[in-house]
Amino acid sequence: MVQQEHIEKEKVADTDHELLNLLKQRYSPRIFSDQELREEEMQTLFEAARWSASSNNWQPWRFIYAHKGSDTYDKIAECLGEFNQSWATNAPVLMLSAYKKTNPEGKENFHALHDLGMCLGTMAIQAEHMGIALHHMAGLDWKKAHNIFKVPEEYHITTGIAVGYYGGTLSDLPEKLQEAEVAKRKRKPQEEFAFKNEWRTI
């Protein structure tokens, strides 16, 4: 059995270059403290998203969120893939992110998904500053979410997000996920994605 006290130490990134502590410490847990998130704290996270970079200041991001114990929380959980359902309900808040596919003139907004990513990154760092973790999930049935929440055609549900304070106990996870929860974080070396002067195929 993996020991809970190892989690925080193991999850600090071993970076090749010195970074802000908020960046090194941020990770995506599958367990969370049982401390509730107050509405004021959620509003702070959305304020961070509000002030992130946005092409033409169109701010195409949208969110649906709910606190554990509510019918909406259960509906969001229902939209998640089976694997994510096995752990995501450890979180006190679940969210769905979305973006508006068109600009104010009704034409395709090619940069909308980029802007959503920018706002989620900004939100994640604000959350880290507050001791709050975000775990973004690609595994969800977005069509089901559109149907349940009656999302208009010009929007696209994109990810699920589990939100909560860092903490919790490993026994809240299925045993097969406990090792992954404390595994050392890894990233590709810069040479595989940052090319000086010319494109390279890696």
Domain ranges of the chain: 28-169
The reply to whether CATH 3.40.109.10 applies to domain 28-169 is yes
Residues 6+ apart with CB under 8 A from 133: 26, 27, 28, 29, 32, 127, 163, 164, 165, 166
pTM (two decimals): 0.92
**Distance, CA of 71 to CA of 89 (rounded, Å):** 13
- Local confidence band at 4 (pLDDT 50, 70, 90 cut-offs): very low
Instruction: Decide if pLDDT at 10 tops 90.
Output: no
Structure tokens at 127: 């959350």
